A = this chain, B = another copy of it.
Amino acid sequence: MASSKNLSRFWEWGRKIICVGRNYAEHAKELKNAVPTEPVLFLKSPSAYVREGAPILMPYYTNNLHHEVELGVVIGKGGKDIAQASAMDHVEGYALCLDMTARDMQDQCKQKGLPWTLAKAFDTSCPVSDLISKDTIKDPHNIRIWLKVNDILRQEGSTSSMIFSIPYLISYISRVITLEEGDLILTGTPKGVAAVQEDDEMVAGIDDIISMKFQIKKQS
C-alpha cells in the first residue's frame, strides 16, 4: 500500500485530520478558555481539505466564520504508542493549514455540551498548502506563522509558543488513535483569530518559506 501512495499529495488519500485546540496560551485566553493541562483534540474529516485556487465556503449556518492559521504535521510513518524520543521519525514534513471555524456554532456546541463537528469539520474547513520537507523546516518549534486578511496582518506567532510540542502531541495522540501514513496533525493557532466575510482574501504563510491565498465565498 505505502509504496503506491504519493505523500506529496497526502490530502488526496490521507484518512485523518487530528486537530489540537488551545495550544497557544494567548489564544486560549483571547477566547476566555482555560490554558489546558493536556491536549484538546478534535477531528476534521478529509472532505475538509481545500487547495489554493478553490474558495473557502462559509457554511449556511454560520455568521461568524473565523480563521485560525496553524502549522500542520504530515505523518510519513504510522505508529501506535509512539515514544516522544522517536516521534520525529514519524514525520514526513509539514504543511501550512487553516483551521476554519464556525465560531458561533462552536460557542453553541460548548454551551450545550455537543460535539464540535458542525463548527470544525465542514467542507473546506481545512485549507492546506503543499508539503514542506523536513529539510526546509529544520526546527518546527521556531518558525513564524502569519495570516493577513485583505492585506492587514491579523495573526502572527512563533511556534516556540506552543504549549505541547510536536513530539509530545504525536506521542499523546498515538496512545489513543493509531497514526497512519498521510495523516495530518494541526498544532493549534496563535492569537488574533477573527471573522472573515464573503469575498475577503486571506494570505497565510510560514516565515518566507511558503504562502497561500484563499478567498471566502458563501455556500450555495
Contacts and interface: CB of A to CB of B under 8 A. Distances in A.
A110 B115 CA distance: 8
A217 interface: no
Interface in A162-197: 175-180
The range of chain A's interface size is 35 or more
B80 A118 contact: no
Contacts of A161: none
Contacts of A41: 115, 117-118
Given A43-B45, A122-B177, 7 more contacts: A15-B47, A41-B117, A42-B115, A43-B43, A43-B117, A118-B176, A123-B177
B47 A16 contact: yes
Interface of A: 15-16, 18, 21, 40-48, 59-60, 80, 109-111, 113-118, 120-123, 175-180
Contacts of A16: 45-47
A47 B178 CA distance: 6
A123 to B, nearest CB: 5
B117 A47 contact: no
Given A80-B123, A123-B80, A42 B117 contact: yes
Q: Which of A47, A110, A111, A116 has the most CB of B within 10 A?
A: A47
A43 B121 contact: yes
23 contacts: A15-B15, A40-B115, A41-B115, A41-B117, A41-B118, A42-B117, A43-B43, A43-B45, A43-B115, A43-B117, A45-B177, A47-B177, A47-B179, A80-B123, A109-B113, A110-B114, A111-B113, A113-B113, A116-B116, A117-B176, A118-B176, A121-B176, A121-B177
